[in-house]
Amino acid sequence: MRPVFFISDLHAGIKHDAEDPAKLRDFRVVLERARREGCELCILGDLFDFWFEWREVVPRRHLPWLEALRQAVEGGLAISLLPGNHDFKLDGMLERELGLRLPGDWERRDLLGTPAFLHHGDGLDPRERGYRLMRGVFRSAWAQWAFRWLHPDLGMAFADVIGGGDRVPVWDRANLLAYMGRAIPASIQPADRLMVMGHVHVGGRYQWKKCQVVSLPPFMLPGRGYGSWDGAEFRFHFVHEERATEPVEEKLA
């Protein structure tokens, strides 16, 4: 069986990011590897640093990334995309125009014989009441209707400001384990045997009862990490192995 590849937290299109062209080149390496090996690629959120689908406008800073995705799909690569907290407005354009698969905010599916739960990872901690409320407001139909009427230049400028505070490269270990310790029990169902997520910007493996939980290394960091599941083992990969960071290994229950 061919493995399924996972990637998250690319944060493409950060304004004035000198690393964006290099990050795009490295993303093309992953796309080509997955295409060449006949695998599916699952992008688990925050593909873009900000994404909103105006009816007739696409931010020009995203065009090279969209072209890379288009070429990969036309080359035969199956790509699934889940939303993150930075690219939460997925309104069907990437599905219609590029051929990406958009399963929704989260997905439970069979992954090579393993019952799996896929999610970006944000909003899973039940104690984060303020964030969960804000998330609900931003995703509401009326808020997105109002935002659509902003000029795109103003909308992108606003997103650059509010997105900067949520671009912390790495969570410290104490906050990471506290979040995972609350988020995982609130998310896992008894049948789940694998959970894959991003968001926390730290690669890691966590055991929760009978379920293996994986947090992906963020692709935005210099090692350019991603992962793969072959039906038996989850592996971490890095475009730049010399810059890789060691994953966290924890048993939570």
166-185 per-position pLDDT tens digit: 666 678 889 999 999 999 99
CATH of the domain at 153: 3.60.21.10
pTM for the full predicted model: 0.94
pLDDT of 252:
86
What pLDDT is recorded for position 200? 94
Q: Output the CA torsion sign for 100, 139, 164, 117.
A: negative
The secondary structure element, H or E, covering residue 142 is: helix 141-148
pLDDT value at residue 164: 66
Report the candidate in 29, 28, 22, 23 with the shortest Cα–Cα distance to residue 9: 23
Range of the domain at 78: 4-251
Distance of alpha carbon 11 from the chain centroid: 9
The distance of Cα 25 from the centroid of its chain, to the nearest Å, equals 18
pLDDT in tens, the chain (253 residues): 899 999 999 999 988 888 899 999 999 999 999 999 999 999 999 999 999 888 888 999 999 999 999 999 999 999 999 999 888 678 889 999 999 999 999 999 999 999 999 999 999 998 888 878 878 877 888 888 888 898 989 988 988 887 766 666 678 889 999 999 999 999 999 999 999 999 999 999 999 999 999 999 999 999 999 999 999 999 999 999 999 989 999 988 7
Chain centroid to CA 116: how far? 16
Count: domains in the chain = 1
DSSP labels, 183-235: HHHHH--TT--EEEE-SSSS-EEEEETTEEEEEPPPTTSTT-EEEEE-SS-EE
